[in-house]
Amino acid sequence: MEGIAQTQAAERPGGMEGFVADWSSDQRVFKNVSWGKAMMWIFLLSDTFVFGCFLLAYMTVRMSTTVAWPNPSEVFALEIFGTHMPLILIAIMTFVLITSSGTMAMAVNFGYRRDRRRTALMLVVTAIFGALFVGMQAFEWTKLIHEGVRPWGNPWGAEQFGSAFFMITGFHGTHVTIGVIFLLIVARKVWRGDYDTGRPGFFTSRGGRYEIVEITGLYWHFVDLVWVFIFALFYLW
Amino acid sequence: MAHAADVHAGHGAAVHAPVAQEVGQQHPIRLYLVVWIWLFVLSTFSYLVDFFHLQGLLRWSLILAFMMLKAGLIVAVFMHMKWERLALGYAILVPPVAVLIFVAIMVLEADNTLLSRLQFFSRAPG
């Protein structure tokens, strides 16, 4: 079945003609994409709406308040070796997450080359960067809570700042944490050779494929993608 | 890593006997590294926007431009959307337009709320 579908997909028209033909045909829509990948994309689309609504709620409260909004550049500034660096922690967190996205892309690449060891290694490195990010976020939360930021108020201005901050970064941090767990599980499976031997999974009782590394990667890159928007719209704006 | 790039044989190349399910995304590592460097550069630029205290329209347009460039690179290359068929691309990338429409609606709503607050709840009526 799969084999036939793949062959058909290779012969199908491309471009707009292909777009119409794929959607109008009385079969599966996503021709050369496995169900696992298609479902991950659809999940990510739903997650886009969740984060989209958070950011949009933040925009609404920030635009409608008559009280001045705290300046994120100063709120997230740190004293490093006696130098005052605005927003430095957030910048480092951004670089850490981008680096983890890079190592994730490497893992996917090695996975399709069936390079078991390097794939597992890159997945673990990605997970370490992810954990580092969550750690820095925990530090940031601790610092802000000590300075008196609460979901209902803060010392610098509009009360909505705290609720928007904790909601958006908290939800994103949860995503990163889940991603790290997800990465470690997949790394273990790759290291053990599950995707070479077709060893049945604990949860699905079905053999996995190296494509699972790419699907995990989609989730991880999405987490990085969301951070791009949070960084621009919450921290820099 | 240079030797590994030679293995690149385009879309859907399987290293071993082509099992139907193993249609993967194989691209040269060099491409990922170039995108990675660009993401670093663009992030640095967005940080510098804040560092040099750029204000007003220039600040917002630069922030949004760097944001969209980074998002585009991640989705297109890291998430392989560039090489997927249009049927998947449109199914995923078109629905978020609804969020933008929602943004437009809430901009009007927020302005309305702000004007009401200024007019009726202002401590020092002007």
Per residue in A144-203, pLDDT (tens digit) is: 999 999 999 899 989 999 999 999 999 999 999 999 999 999 999 999 988 888 888 877
Residue A29 to chain B, least CA–CA distance (Å): 7
Q: If 0-12 CB within 10 Å is exposed, 13-18 middle and 19+ buried, where does residue A202 land?
A: exposed
Residue whose tokens read 């049945």: A200
B48 shares a domain with B25: yes
A75 shares a domain with A13: no
A42 shares a domain with A67: yes
Q: What is the pLDDT of residues A224-235, one digit of tens each?
A: 999 999 999 999
Please report the ipTM that was assigned to this predicted complex. 0.84
- Is residue A42 within 8 angstroms of chain B, CB to CB? yes
Percentage of chain A exceeding pLDDT 70 = 95
| Whole-angstrom distance, CA of residue A100 vs CA of residue A235 | 20
- Is residue A20 within 8 angstroms of chain B, CB to CB? no
On whether residue B91 sits in a domain, the answer given is no
On whether residue B57 sits in a domain, the answer given is yes
On whether residue B89 sits in a domain, the answer given is no
A218: nearest Cα among A188, A179, A178, A177: A179
A197: nearest Cα among A110, A116, A112: A116
Domains held by chain A: number: 2
Residue B114 to chain A, least CA–CA distance (Å): 4
| Whole-angstrom distance, CA of residue A59 vs CA of residue B52 | 24
A78 shares a domain with A150: yes
Query: Residues in chain B, how many?
Result: 126
Residue B17's pLDDT is what? 39
| Whole-angstrom distance, CA of residue A74 vs CA of residue A89 | 11
Query: Residues in chain A, how many?
Result: 237
Asked if residues B14 and B37 have their Cβ atoms less than 8 Å apart, the reply is: no
Q: What is the pLDDT of residues B3-54, one digit of tens each?
A: 444 444 444 443 443 443 445 677 888 899 999 999 999 999 999 998 888 8
CATH number of the structural domain spanning residue A210: 1.20.120.80
B109 shares a domain with B73: no
- Mean pLDDT over B97-111 rounds to 95
Quote the domain boundaries for residue B113.
96-126
Q: Do A63 and B75 touch (CB under 8 A)?
A: no
A100 shares a domain with A15: no
Instruction: List chain A residues with CB under 8 Å of B70.
Output: 228
Greatest Cα pair distance, chain B, in angstroms, is 78
On whether residue B108 sits in a domain, the answer given is yes
A40 shares a domain with A17: no
Q: Which two tokens stand for residue B19?
A: 């099992």
Helices (H), chain A: 2-11, 15-24, 35-64, 72-75, 88-112, 116-146, 160-192, 194-197, 211-230
B112 shares a domain with B52: no
Residue A45's pLDDT is what? 96
Residue A177 has a CB neighbour count (10 Å cut-off) of 16
B64 shares a domain with B10: yes
Domains held by chain B: number: 2
Q: Which two tokens stand for residue A67?
A: 């009280």
**What pTM was computed for the model?**
0.85
Asked if residues A214 and B83 have their Cβ atoms less than 8 Å apart, the reply is: no
